[in-house]
Structure 1
């Protein structure tokens, strides 16, 4: 309804690091969503629901086709990566995130 729910706000703040900084990010995201909503409504008004739904389906089809083509060009094998985060939020030590695909 466009109003910040204080209970949800409290839950979010109690579950994120540096809450006061992250809330600004959340507010920016909410503002961006409102702009996106307005623009999508404008497109729907201009072209109609059916045309927009068909265009979205075509974009998804093309994206899937391109992704499959790109993946098929990757040689078979195991691909590994490692990243690090400051902590897991419980223990104040660096945490390694390892991936093998």
Structure 2
């Protein structure tokens, strides 16, 4: 996805923010992977998990959105090129499973 975002000829403020966001997540993944002794409950890894989750929830919402703003249209094209639709299906499935698990 980062490759597709960086390849865009014109980058709005929102697109540039997404490039920085994805870049930071990838850096955190590399840093976290190099330190295998860290527990997944460490603050660093929990922040990585939270950031990644928030990014994909936002992208999932954009993918489902009917909005036609320029940023939404651009992100949808990027998502199609990056072929993240399979990942979004997994996000939807996990969301439904989580909702079932936490129902009272």
Q: What is the TM-score of this pair, normalised by structure 1?
A: 0.30
Of Structure 1 and Structure 2, which has the larger fraction of its residues in helix? 2
Of Structure 1 and Structure 2, which has the larger fraction of its residues in strand? 1
Q: Quick check: which has more Rg, 1 or 2?
A: 1
Q: What is the TM-score of this pair, normalised by structure 2?
A: 0.29
* Higher RCO structure (Cα 8 Å, ≥6 apart): 2
